[in-house]
Chain A
């Protein structure tokens, strides 16, 4: 294991002289949901803000499963649902557990989620991120696209005072830098906020196909009307590699993907698109996606370590938010990220404003950020569910439980006349034995699950 990172910013630029008046109060790197929320919060409070984006436009480098939960926006953009670029409102939420030829689905629908103030929505990141960045710009932030932050500018004492960019004369200085530069966050790593060892262990790789289908075909197959949408989360579709899958409906396409742990994928010697091909051919999925023309194939890393593996969130002159701070929640029935990014960005922006106002942008002066996060859903949810990522990605949950659950359902629903019906207890005993699960282990996992979710 090397102790240096790959990335554009392997070494900070040390300034012998502290800069004079900085170019901006706040410099936000990355115009994803965290960055735009940070820029919006800071600009609204009257700070001068630059928002750097390495892609040609916000969202162009970004990929996610496909569902955003917008409630956090109530504070930033009142009535956001009237203007957010949404594909469909999720009114049908399903969890599917599958083996190669079985599938058990828990399917919930609520028409209340299809009316204001709404719950989840499918959206494309190029639309969503651009929309939120537009709000930051309207509040006064300067969006600087097509620009890579290649390293931190630091004083000899180590305080972050800006970034170097890949533009000619590209140094930009600021009182506070907010790194929202995504899962690979070279800036946070360069500042020493991330642990340097074993970084791949808590990362998953998501691959996603966007499959175009006519609107009415989607509505027929998924039982939807108007802007209603379905979101299906899948366990057991990854050949035992820790991970899962998803299928989300957009207006005129569906997003089909798998998410797998990076170390598991590397050792399994399976390629990600093979897992997607499996999923597409599965009898429970094939009829839903049949004939879909692939319009985009995409991939992205996801930080799934949860609360116990968050980096440091602040340094002298520096805050970290969003994927750069590992704020993705991958906890089985909850798979969320954009909402945490928006929340964290908002609090980072406010903390930067408060620190600038108080004249102390040191790590101590910025510590209000972490306190605000701990009080809000952002870290409260992560803290509460800290044990779940480990449980969901465990060997048993991945290799044994899907088959056990499906066999249990098959036994329960099978009509095997003239033999009398087996009792649930016997079915469970048989399934547990067939899948080599220790009953004690099963009980322990059930208790862990109840505690973690409870």
Chain B
């Protein structure tokens, strides 16, 4: 992704997509997930709405979850409200995502 003429700018891996955004990762997970609830969840809206793709399905049917590259938008807990698996807080002061071009 150098933006040279002729290069297909549309092809971008998700990792590359996240590369430009700065994160000051906290040791404390600011989101926690009760995976027992996830195991019985059939909706799994978090997989689709999380813009940072922090929720991914596991081969055994569970959900794998990461908090480090979180945009702190809140979409996950909003759609999961009914299921009640996600506990969402802000990262500690000064940590988490740092937008420069927002």
Which residues of A approach B to under 8 Å, CB–CB?
Answer: 1-2, 6-8, 54-56, 59-64, 124-126, 145-148, 165-167, 183-184, 199-200, 203, 205, 207-213, 250, 253, 255, 262-263, 265-273, 277, 280-281, 286, 289-301
Contact A54 B18 (CB under 8 A): no
Q: Max chain A CB contacts within 10 Å: which of B10, B24, B87?
A: B10
B90 to chain A, nearest CB (A): 5
Q: Are B75 and A296 in contact (CB under 8 A)?
A: no
Chain A residue with Cβ nearest B17:
A297
| Known contacts A54-B90, A55-B94; A270 and B48 CB within 8 A of each other | yes
Question: B88 touching A7 by the CB < 8 A rule?
Answer: yes
Nearest CB in chain A: distance from B80 CB, A: 9
CB nearest to A6 among chain B residues: B88
Checking B3, B10, B45, B86 against A212 with a beta-carbon cut-off of 8 angstroms, the contacting residue is B3
Shortest C-beta distance, B70 to chain A (Å), equals 10
Q: Which residues of A contact B53 (CB under 8 A)?
A: 271
B21 in the interface (beta carbon within 8 A): yes
Interfacial chain A residues near B1, Cβ < 8 Å: 293-294
A146-B94 CB under 8 A given contacts A62-B99, A63-B99, A210-B101: yes
- Across the two chains, which residue of chain B brings its CB closest to A255? B101
Q: Which of B18, B52, B71, B93 contacts A166 (CB 8 A)?
A: B93
Is the pair A266, B49 in contact by a Cβ cutoff of 8 Å?
A: yes
B12 at the interface (CB under 8 A from A): yes
Q: A277, A291, A295, A297 — which one has the most chain B CB atoms within 10 A of its CB? A: A297
CA distance A269 to B87 in the complex (A): 22
- B79 lies within 8 A of chain A by Cβ: yes
- Distance in angstroms between the alpha carbons of A166 and B89 in the assembled complex: 12
Contacts of B43 in A (CB 8 A): 266
Chain B residues with Cβ below 8 Å from A263 are 79
Distance A61 CA – B71 CA, assembled complex (angstroms): 8
Contact A273 B49 (CB under 8 A): no
CB-CB < 8 A to A147: which residues of B?
A: 93-94
Decide if B77 touches A63 in the complex (CB within 8 Å).
Answer: no
Question: Contacts A60-B98, A293-B9 given: A200-B73 contact, CB under 8 Å?
Answer: no
The B interface is mostly helix, strand or loop, or mixed, namely: loop
Complex Cα–Cα for A184 and B12 (A): 30
A262 with B75: CB separation less than 8 A:
yes
Which B residues are CB-close (under 8 A) to A281?
Answer: 10
- The answer, among A54, A280, A295, for a CB contact under 8 Å with B101, is A295
A interface footprint on B3-40 (CB within 8 Å = 1, 0 otherwise): 11101011010101110110010000000000000000
B83's nearest neighbour on chain A, judged by CB, is: A2
Complex CA distance for A55 and B86, rounded to whole angstroms: 22
Chain A contact residues, majority secondary structure: mixed
A277 touches B10 (CB 8 A): yes
Contact, CB under 8 Å: B79 / A148: no
A213–B16 Cα distance when bound, in Å, is 18
Complexed CA–CA distance, A295 and B22 (Å): 10
CB of B74 to closest CB in A, whole Å: 5
CB neighbours (8 Å) of B93 from chain A are 54, 145-148, 165-167
Residues of B within 8 A of A280 (CB): 9-10
Q: B21 to chain A: which residues have CB within 8 Å?
A: 296-298
CB-CB nearest in chain B for A253:
B101
Q: Which of A267, A277, A292, A299 neighbours the largest number of chain B CB atoms within 10 Å of its CB? A: A299
B5 to A, closest residue via Cβ = A291
* Chain B nearest Cβ from A145, distance in angstroms: 7
Q: A1-B81, A298-B71 are in contact. List 5 more A-B contacts (CB 8 A).
A: A55-B94, A126-B100, A213-B3, A266-B43, A301-B75
Residues of A within 8 A of B59 (CB): none
The 10 lowest CB-CB distance pairs between A and B, nearest first, are: A146-B94, A293-B3, A6-B88, A299-B51, A266-B45, A63-B102, A210-B101, A125-B102, A200-B78, A146-B93
Q: Contacts A61-B72, A269-B48, A280-B10 given: A291-B3 contact, CB under 8 Å? A: yes
Residue contact B98 to A297, C-beta cutoff 8 Å: no
Given contacts A167-B93, A271-B53, contact A266 B99 (CB under 8 A): no
In angstroms, Cα B47 to Cα A51, docked, is 36
Task: Provide the bound-state CA to CA distance between A61 and B77, in Å.
Answer: 18
B97: which of A61, A250, A293 is its contact (CB, 8 Å)?
A61
Distance between Cα atoms of A265 and B44 in the complex (Å)? 12
A59→B22 CA distance, assembly (Å): 13
Taking a contact as CB atoms closer than 8 A, the residue among B9, B77, B94 that contacts A6 in the complex is B77
Q: Give chain A residues whose Cβ lies under 8 Å from the Cβ of B72.
A: 61
Could you tell me the distance between the alpha carbons of A280 and B9 in the complex, rounded to whole angstroms? 9
